[in-house]
Structure 1
Amino acid sequence: MGMTARLLPLVLTATALVPQQPSNDPSYQEIPLDGVSVRSLTEPYGMVGITWPEGVRNVTAKVRVQQNGKWTDWQSLPVEDDHGPDVSDTEGIQRAGTEPLWVGNATGVQASAISDSGTPVSGAKVVLIQPGVLSSDADEPDDVGVTSTASPYPMPLMVSRRRWGADERLRTYNGASCARPKYTTTVLGAFVHHTADRNDYTRTQVAAMVRAMYAYHVKSRGWCDLGYNFLVDRFGRIFEGRAGGAQLPVLGAHTASYNANSFGVAVIGNFDKTTPPAAMLESTARVLAWKLDANYRSPSATIRLDGKSLHTVSGHRDTKATDCPGAQLYDKLGWLRQRVNALMGGSFATPIYRYARKLGFRNIGQPFWGEHPTRTGRATYFATRDVFYSVATGPHSTAGAFRTRYRRLGAGSARLGLPTTEAYQVHGGVRQKFQRGWLVWDRRVRQVQVVYGRAL
């Protein structure tokens, strides 16, 4: 009674009873929290959050929801003002806000957002998202990888964006420029987060939770896409997050000024007081091992990002004062580093890595597309060279105009096959031999030509 009376001038109330039936159709509602009691008809929804204009700090946000005709207790929503893109990398019209809360299926909401002075936050909104139900919500991860102890550690099974139902049209919501993914230079390290959500969700709810989070990040917070690069549920399933290619160094919106040259893995749930399940920790280790091993990064090393020295595998709270990723998960980071190191075999030993060291990383730059299988072998794309390997050819690289031409042919699976030499000078030009032909640069025509056949 005291809580309700004290918050009444600041509360939005949506108490109209609506038949509580799960909806197959997605919906999105933003209702102003304007400091007076408001009554609004509320369709069934699955996720709730509160937002306000960027720049307002020290906000206390609370909600309670109506489920099955009864009101839950008031619950504080975590406010994470350091999630999201760097301020220098604006994605749409950004708004500050809480972490979204999954409520499953609710028909009413009461919410408040007050400043540290006890006054209503001007321009605050409560966001209600119904992600709908898809026939694919019960599907398991796509067969895009395998789990083993091979070197480098392979891509684990993953629920793709297509499989969890990402509406790719949503990426133009904050402008056409958002439709094109942005990439950073390389992968140096990873940040572990928790979504600060509930821990009692079911297997079939997770895809809907990810869709709702995607809508919240884009429509409510003003970002270009889902903020995290990867998500892991309590059952150990890995979900592809931000678009742009899971294998590539996609610039995420997870740790503000530390997004460049890192990737964010969010475990779905709240781990302030709850220990993350073993399956969740193991899958988190697997996605970390895959990305770090492909880019030749040791989980036991330290790196430097935005002028700060950090572990290769860090928690969000290592960058600022925040509860994320929760005390119980943060305490597991040491175990995660050890487990990742074990999965990676403790060292880098691939022929491509050894060849890259021979060429010199100062000469070829850092990995952009980490080591990955091609149709006929393996490849790593560095800043200035692409290095290929197969048992039949050994390691060789392409560079400059030859790299550009070979990529256009379908590098790694072209009719030419893999390179069997480096490019070398001959009278009148430069040539490079491949398994089933040559690339030739002739000074007279000043372009790279493709010649098929073994003799030249």
Structure 2
Amino acid sequence: MWYPRLVLGAALLPLALLVARDVPAHLLDPPVPETAGPATAYTAPRPAVVSRKAWRADESLVREEASYTGPVSAVFVHHTGHPNGYDCSDVPEMLRGLETDHVEGQGWDDIGYNFVVDKCGTIYEGRGGGIGRPVYGAHTKGFNRNSVGVAALGTFGAGQEVPRAVIDAIAEVAAWKLRPGADPQGRVRLVSTNDESRYDEGEAATFDVIAGHRDSHQTDCPGQALYDRLPKIREEATRLRALGP
């Protein structure tokens, strides 16, 4: 979850360097061969993802090269904490602000989330290291191993609308990234790697395969309205995986 102290700044970002609302096809990364990190087998179609290069991530901020984990067994859904009224053409600028906060404000190596989804349904590459690889994120402390973090750009509190495009985009990422054999409507057992969650280090916890950040931490993330839509995301991810890669 993004911290409130930078929300106002994100809402007032300059418009001089914005990209078009509908991201042109040439800004989307084509499939590339795996050249680093463990190879991954996929059982659902790969969604279109806007690359870090396209949203002009500041690679000079990145403090360490990406590290990798095992096949993805869980997906944690987040919100970023931005106001929901943003224009989707503003998103690349907002992502650059998010990256700066995560690195310079929170002290992380890079943006924490593996993917960010805007309210128009566009999927953006978050943390670097290769979208087709199991990049070790910084999204769900204690449970970043063998998981992927997907953040919806916004807040989505109780009573707020969750666009269908957001639901579909998160489901597309989940369906694609989950390891073969994972059931999007099933449960998974993970072991906590530190004490800064609801679970002590070394303690086993059982989550929905597609879970909310609040399931592991004392937080309102991903917002009650989005949390209530997790069953629909699981259902859609299951449908997509039935289509095959």
Structure-2-length-normalised TM-score: 0.81
Matched, 1:100 2:2: no
Which of 158, 161, 172 aligns to 1:286? It is: 172
Quickly say closer, same or farther: Cα 1:156–1:206, change in 2 above 3 A.
same
Quickly say closer, same or farther: Cα 1:189–1:131, change in 2 above 3 A.
farther
Unaligned runs of 5+ in 2: 32-41, 192-203
Matched, 1:250 2:135: yes
Structure-1-length-normalised TM-score: 0.45
Distance 1:262 1:249 in 2: 8
2:138 partner amino acid: A
Which of 48, 60, 65 aligns to 1:157? It is: 48
Q: Percent same amino acid at aligned positions?
A: 38
Matched, 1:315 2:212: yes
1:303 partner amino acid: V
Unaligned runs of 5+ in 1: 1-79, 84-96, 107-129, 146-150, 173-177, 351-371, 373-456
Distance 1:203 1:269 in 2: 11
Number of equivalences? 219
1:297 partner amino acid: A
Which of 1 and 2 has higher RCO (CA within 8 Å, sep 6+)? 2
Q: Once the two structures are superposed, what CA deviation does each residue of 1:390-438 show, in whole Å capped at 9, x if it has no partner?
A: xxxxxxxxxxxxxxxxxxxxxxxxxxxxxxxxxxxxxxxxxxxxxxxxx
Q: Which has the higher strand share?
A: 1
Tell me by how many angstroms 1:296 deviates. 3.4
Q: Once the two structures are superposed, what CA deviation does each residue of 1:369-396 show, in whole Å capped at 9, x if it has no partner?
A: xxx8xxxxxxxxxxxxxxxxxxxxxxxx
Matched, 1:275 2:161: yes
1:194 partner amino acid: H
Q: Once the two structures are superposed, what CA deviation does each residue of 1:24-66 show, in whole Å capped at 9, x if it has no partner?
A: xxxxxxxxxxxxxxxxxxxxxxxxxxxxxxxxxxxxxxxxxxx
**Structure 1 residue aligned with 2:229:** 332
Distance 1:228 1:328 in 2: 20
2:167 partner amino acid: L
Distance 2:97 2:20 in 1: 13
Partner of 1:256: helix, strand, or coil?
coil
Q: Whose radius of gyration is greater, 1 or 2?
A: 1
Matched, 1:192 2:85: no
Q: Once the two structures are superposed, what CA deviation does each residue of 1:54-82 show, in whole Å capped at 9, x if it has no partner?
A: xxxxxxxxxxxxxxxxxxxxxxxxxx6xx
Distance 2:116 2:43 in 1: 22
Distance 2:14 2:103 in 1: 13
Distance 2:230 2:154 in 1: 16
**Structure 2 residue aligned with 1:231:** 116
Are the counterparts in 2 of residues 228 and 253 from structure 1 also a CA contact under 8 Å? yes
Q: Which has the higher helix share?
A: 2
Distance 2:164 2:107 in 1: 34
Partner of 1:303: helix, strand, or coil?
strand
Which 4+ runs in 1 deviate beyond 4 A? 102-106, 130-133, 135-138
Which of 14, 17, 38 aligns to 1:134? It is: 17
Distance 1:248 1:99 in 2: 32
Tell me by how many angstroms 1:143 deviates. 5.4
**Structure 1 residue aligned with 2:35:** none
Give runs of aligned pairs for residues 168-179 of structure 1, distance below 5 A.
168-172=59-63, 178=64
Which of 70, 86, 103 aligns to 1:218? It is: 103
Matched, 1:301 2:186: yes
